[in-house]
Structures are given as structure tokens and as C-alpha cells.
A and B are shown apart, each in its own frame.
Chain A
Amino acid sequence: GQQVMQIPQYQHVQEGEDFTTYCNSSTTLSNIQWYKQRPGGHPVFLIQLVKSGEVKKQKRLTFQFGEAKKNSSLHITATQTTDVGTYFCAEDTGTASKLTFGTGTRLQVTL
């Protein structure tokens, strides 16, 4: 099946440092969604990117969709302890109910 690779698997930063997670596919993505899962919680939708080269911002979070629609990134500026959790990208095939998730990047933020 479709493989969506996500790197890194884990990152530990100090509060105030920036953080980026990358999502890569071997094929062209229809669109990409990003989710955040807090420790002990469930995934919560953050955003969806549809267009080639699209960039969207949510406060300190910046989401990008590659020009070739084969990769995406989530960048957090000046991390805070509230950013702790696992970030997943997910490809939406646009058919049926198929969302293929990346393996996730676990972010740990310390003071």
C-alpha cells in the first residue's frame, strides 16, 4: 500500500527552539492532513493542504506542501511545553475513507 514516511521519529528540544517534521511519499499525494496527538490523548486534526506549494500558518505552526506534492512539512517556531505530543501527517486519497498515516514524530519539549 501507499507508504508515507515521516522523519524524525523523535525529537527533544528545549523550550524556545524550533522544530520541524517532514513527511515524504514516493508518489504524488492528493492532499495531506496533519494531526496532533497529546500524550494519552487521541489524534486531533490541525490542517489540510491541497495545492502544490501551499503554505498555511496557525500562530507558531507553519505547514508546507511541496511543489511536486510528494512531501510536506510542519515547522513550529519557538516551541512551548504545550507543543509536546506526536505529530502525524496523513494522506487523503480522496476516495472511500482511506487516510494513510505516517508513523509520526514525537516531540518532547523541556524547560
Chain B
Amino acid sequence: EAQVTQNPRYLITVTGKKLTVTCSQNMNHEYMSWYRQDPGLGLRQIYYSMNVEVTDKGDVPEGYKVSRKEKRNFPLILESPSPNQTSLYFCASRWGQGKSEQYFGPGTRLTVT
């Protein structure tokens, strides 16, 4: 089954404790992205990757890191989480350039206290 998986689905952590949210897709998609969803603000892109070892900042990259060492995986790293990073995070993937639908993972609800 074609899918995007994320782990963990729920996470409660404390300020400053490094964490990683994993994302994996089995569709051989070139493009992968991370979004955060906050009430009233819709979906905002954090980082994206066009292919292995190619990543770039989205609209709200501050406080986040990503890596793309393999085509299927695109982890999101919070080196020193802060309460304003409490949010619902979605990983997504799609085929090559433009005009293709995006597949979303199930989401990770992160709470930073």
C-alpha cells in the first residue's frame, strides 16, 4: 500500500531536549516536505527536499533541521525544542516537478512544555 509514515504519532517533551520525528515514504517520490499546522494558520511549510542530499527552507524553518540521506526517508530534527514549536506536524511526498498531488503522513502531535 502506498503510504507516508511518521513516528511518533504523539510526543510530549520538555524544552531543550533534542528530538527527531521520522518520515518514510514507499512511493519512490523525489519530493518530500514537512509542514506544521496551527489553528487559524493553515499548513505552513518548514523544509522541503527535491532529492537525496538536496534540501531547502520553507516558510518557517527556524528551530528545525532536516536531512535526506536516502530517497525514502526525511527526518525532522528539533535540536532544542521550545514551547512555540508545539504543533501538529505533517510529512508529505510527491512525484517530480509540479502539478502532482501530495501525499501526507498521518501527523505527529508534538507538545513542548
A contacts, CB < 8 Å to B: 1, 6, 9, 30-31, 33, 35, 41-45, 48, 50, 88, 90, 92-104
Contact = CB atoms under 8 A, between A and B. Distances in A.
Given A9-B40, A96-B50, A42 B107 contact: yes
Interface string B62-97: 000000000000000000000000000010001001
Contacts of B14: none
Contacts of B42: 6, 88, 101-104
Contacts of B94: 97
Given A42-B104, A88-B43, A102-B42, A1 B50 contact: no
B49 A97 contact: yes
For chain B, which range describes its interface: under 10, 10 to 19, 20 to 34, or 35 or more residues? Answer: 20 to 34
Contacts of B48: 96-98
Contacts of A33: 101-102
Q: Is the interface of A mostly helix, strand, loop or mixed?
A: loop
Contacts of B104: 42-44
A101 B104 CA distance: 13
B98 A48 contact: no
